[in-house]
Amino acid sequence: MLSWAAWLRMHHQDPQWAQHVLIEDCWEGLDFSLWANRENWDSKIKIRIIDTTCLSLSETAAQVAKFIDEQEDLKQNILKLP
């Protein structure tokens, strides 16, 4: 059995860790070539950890929604650049 949260925490530290979890038996149209050789996330992805340990379900949903809204705002600002 996979503990998704534990997998994400490990994957955040080491993109090479247990890639088979997603790659094996997946849809053949997926391309993992960039990810397969990544040694760290520093140059490609900004990781944010949302600690939901002490949050209710609605508080967690609000934190996730806030994160998504912030990403959409950043995307819109990038699209406006000359």
Reported as a single tens digit per residue, the pLDDT across 16-36 is: 888 888 889 989 898 888 787
Q: Which two tokens stand for residue 68?
A: 């998504």
Contact of 15 with 38, CB cutoff 8 Å: yes
Please tell me the predicted confidence (pLDDT) of residue 65: 94
Q: For 47, phi and psi rounded to 5 degrees? A: -95, 130
pTM over 0.75: no
**Do 3 and 41 fall into the same domain?**
yes
Name the residue range of residue 12's domain: 1-47
Q: Check whether residue 26 and residue 54 sit in a common domain.
A: no
Q: Which amino acid is at 39?
A: E
Q: Are residues 53 and 74 in the same domain?
A: yes
Model pLDDT, residue 36: 77
Same domain, yes or no, for 6 and 36?
yes
The model's confidence at residue 2, banded by pLDDT at 50, 70 and 90, is: low
Give the per-residue pLDDT at 18. Answer: 87
**62 and 43 in one domain?**
no
